Amino acid sequence: MSNDRRALLLGLSAVLLWSTAATAFKLALRELDVFQLLAWSVSASAVAMLLLVHWQGKGALLGACLRESPGYFVLMSALNPLLYYLVLLTAYDLLPAQQAQPINYTWAITLALLAVPLLGQKLGRRDLLAAALGYGGVVIIATEGRPLAMAFTSLAGVALALLSTLIWALYWIANTRNRRDPLVSLSLNFALATPAAWLLCALFSSIEVSGWRGPAAALYVGLFEMGITFVLWSTALRLASTVARVGNLIFLSPLFSLVFIATILGETIHPATLVGLALIIPGVLLQQAGPSRAPAPT
């Protein structure tokens, strides 16, 4: 099998797994609260990625990177996964999945806007048009097609979903100068965040859970939204002769996600969700086609 074909299969596998994230979040939140889901899923992801690091023969890099920049990794672990997923999961707890997922998808546009003050990049007409399309789509989805009424399903949920895009963009900007192995860096982030996640769970919720469904759902989230999928995606990008061949697959994710939301969660897809996505996807695509392409999500 050629490298390009392998890259396509791996990239499509990653996109399909990411497309199940919104559904997995909502199913898990039926059994666990936000703090419990955060603790269980971050732990599962940390274990999976640390095992992958050792399997790849990079275990020695873990200690070397941590000794070199302990403060950096503590800060990054607080940003992602701790704060990012705490905010994102709370947004999913407050909103229908069909609203939370497309709003979170606008993080690439947020990244382009933040790059202006933080990285000194210029804001062009392409970026402004992308922002107008993207956030116009957010308003349509969040108000269920009544933008003039500004009647939100949950204003707090929408605010948190938008805040998650800000946190994710800040994480990527802070990560731009990190030249260390990406899997090793992410593994350290999750390993350092695990004790903090359990501490938050003990303080604001309960470590004890009833039944197996909650931990099982959290295990799926940890493995396939936070962990293994990152490896599939990064490998696909590395194998592809042209990054765009794989990178553009990510635009299938919100569409696949709606299929899972409708068939598994049983949410009736509101026409406004489709209209909003019809604005958000071209907005993100327009921004990605600019001079400085945004990084792929993890």
- Give 98-147 as a DSSP string: HHHHHHHTTHHHHHHHHHHHHH-----HHHHHHHHHHHHHHHHHHTTT-T
Residue ranges in the chain modelled with pLDDT below 50: 292-294, 298
CA separation, residue 14 to residues 22, 26, 32, 63 (Å): 14, 20, 25, 29
**Tokens found for residue 117:** 């003050």
Largest Cα separation within the chain, whole Å, is 57
Find all residues with CB under 8 Å of 204, minimum gap 6, and list them: 35
Q: What's the pLDDT at 285?
A: 81
Query: Is residue 107, in this structure, part of any structural domain at all?
Result: yes
Q: What's the pLDDT at 290?
A: 59
**Number of folded domains that form the chain:** 1
**Tokens found for residue 210:** 């009833």
Q: What's the pLDDT at 1?
A: 62
Domain of residue 226 covers 3-288
Query: Is residue 156, in this structure, part of any structural domain at all?
Result: yes
Find all residues with CB under 8 Å of 213, minimum gap 6, and list them: 31
Report the predicted TM-score, pTM, of the whole model to 2 decimal places: 0.90
Query: Is residue 53, in this structure, part of any structural domain at all?
Result: yes
HSE of 64, CA atoms in CB hemisphere, 13 A: 7
| DSSP three-state, residue 10 | helix
Query: Is residue 298, in this structure, part of any structural domain at all?
Result: no
Q: How far apart are CA 105 and CA 93, in angstroms?
A: 17
Q: How far apart are CA 177 and CA 294, in angstroms?
A: 15
Which of these, 278, 247, 211, lies nearest to 10 by C-alpha position? 247
State the amino acid at position 6 in one-letter form.
Answer: R
Q: How far apart are CA 141 and CA 46, in angstroms?
A: 34
Q: What's the pLDDT at 93?
A: 97
Q: How far apart are CA 132 and CA 282, in angstroms?
A: 11
CA dihedral 56, 60, 61, 64 (to 10 degrees): 180
Q: What's the pLDDT at 294?
A: 47
Query: Is residue 293, in this structure, part of any structural domain at all?
Result: no
Its sign, for the CA torsion 43, 48, 53, 54, is positive
Query: Is residue 141, in this structure, part of any structural domain at all?
Result: yes
The answer to whether 49 touches 187, Cβ cutoff 8 Å, is yes
Query: Is residue 295, in this structure, part of any structural domain at all?
Result: no
Angle between helices 107-119 and 155-174 (to 10 degrees): 50
The length of the chain, given as a count of residues: 298
Query: Is residue 224, in this structure, part of any structural domain at all?
Result: yes
In tens, the pLDDT along 109-141 reads 888 888 888 877 777 888 888 889 888 999 999
